[in-house]
Amino acid sequence: IYRHNILKIISSFLKTIPFILIIFIINIFLDNIMDAILISIKLLLVIEATLIYSSNQRINEISTSITYLFYPLKIFKVNLDEINVTISLALNLIPIIKRELSDLKYACISKGIKINVKNMKYILSRYFYNMIVRVNSINEALISKGIG
C-alpha cells in the first residue's frame, strides 16, 4: 500500500479547480447542467488518479507497460524497443519543459519584460529554439549509441 502526501493531493486539487470550473461553465452553455457536473467530476477523477499513479510509478515502468500494450504490433515487424525509448524520452522531457518555462518566466520578470501577447512571439521563439537544440542533441546522442 502506498502512502500519499495529503498536502500534495490537496495542492494539486486546488491548482486544477480553475480549469475544471472553466470546463464546467463551457459545458453548461453547450449542454445541460447534469452533463456538465458529470464531465467535471470525471475530469477531476482522471486528474487525481493520474497524479496518484504517476507518483507511484517510475518512468521506465510506465514506458515498459505502454510498450507491452503495443506488443501485438510485433506482427507487423514494429520495433518495440524504439517505442519504449521514445516514450521514456517523452516522459523525461516533461519536467525539463516545465522547468524551462518556469525559468523563462522568472527571467522575463527579472529583466522587466511584460509577458503579453505582443512579446510572446519573441519569448516563445527563443524557448522553442532551445527545445529543438536540446532534442537534436539527445537524438545525436542516441544515434551515436546505436539506439536511434
Assign 144 a pLDDT band (cuts: 50, 70, 90): confident
pLDDT score of 2: 52
According to the model, what pLDDT value does residue 148 have? 56
The helix/strand/coil state of 113 is coil
User: How many Å apart are CA 34 and CA 37, to the nearest integer?
Assistant: 5
- Using the predicted structure, report yes or no on whether residue 51 has a pLDDT greater than 60: yes
Set of cell numbers at residue 27: 459545458
CB 60 within 8 A of CB 88: yes
Q: Which are the contacts of 40, defined by CB distance < 8 A and separation ≥ 6?
A: 20, 21, 23, 24, 27
pLDDT in tens, 15-49: 889 999 999 999 999 888 999 999 999 988 888 77
Tens-place pLDDT, residues 52-111: 776 767 777 877 888 888 888 888 888 888 888 888 888 888 888 888 888 888 888 898
- Which band of pLDDT confidence, cut at 50, 70 and 90, is reported for residue 6? confident
Average pLDDT of the segment spanning 123-131:
84
Q: Which pLDDT score, from 0 to 100, does residue 21 have? A: 93
Residue 5 predicted with pLDDT over 80? no
| pLDDT on residue 38 | 92
> Residue 55's CB: how many other CB atoms inside 10 A?
13
What is d(CA 104, CA 108) in angstroms, rounded to the nearest whole number? 6
Residue 1 — pLDDT band, cuts 50, 70, 90? very low
